Amino acid sequence: MSINKSYAVFGLGRYGIAVAKELVNNGADVLAVDIDEDIVNSAVADIPFCRCADITDPEVIKQLGISNVDVVVVAMANNLEASVMSVILCKEAGVKMVIAKCADEMQGKILCKVGADKVVYPENESGVRLAKNLLSAGMVDLIDLSDDISVIEIPVREKWVGKTLIELDLRKKYAINIIAIRNGEDILINVDPNVQLSSEMQLVVIINKTNINKLK
């Protein structure tokens, strides 16, 4: 996922606001929706495309043009019924990726059953971090080591498959340092530069944030 995709955020509590603002601040096209008019009015200064609407209404989903949105974040963990309806309606509208905020594991199971493609738990993943991951084009932000340096996990590109790290020379091309390779449930800490990469692998790397665009 990236800045070139369109996003919608349902529910403008603290989590939803954090996701929407981070996406907007990075230049993404974001539609933010909440049923509380006061919340919408207070958010519009930071999120230009805010709407006051009931997203459990199929007609509203149609009017908002949700079928044209690439990613919807349902951030209403305090209202399971509304979350369930929103997920169902978004998937019926053809949204490819629906991410739902959950209060607990049971709620997560329910939302997955009705179609959520991914569930997040606020205590484990902040709204800002989720937005960064959405913008990172498939890369997973693991941890910030400082304001400038991050550890991220990236998939092995198709053109890298079958080649070794020595052949690819990723440090020179992308200014990254590979510290581990994830292969399914296994994590290889002692990275062999002569190992041939496969499409199932993920590379755990240290990178300066200014160089992340080189990987996109």
Query: What's the pLDDT at 127?
Result: 64
Residue with tokens 């007609």: 59
Mean pLDDT within 40-63? 94
pLDDT digit string, tens, across residues 157-175: 889 999 999 999 888 888 8
Query: What's the pLDDT at 128?
Result: 61
Contact 110, 80 (CB under 8 A): yes
pLDDT digit string, tens, across residues 107-123: 999 999 999 998 888 75
Q: Please, which residues have CB within 8 angstroms of residue 146's CB and are 6 or more apart in sequence?
A: none
12, amino acid identity: L
Residue 103: Cβ-neighbour burial (10 angstroms; 0-12, 13-18, 19+): middle
Domain architecture of the chain: domains with CATH: 6-135 (3.40.50.720), 140-215 (3.30.70.1450)
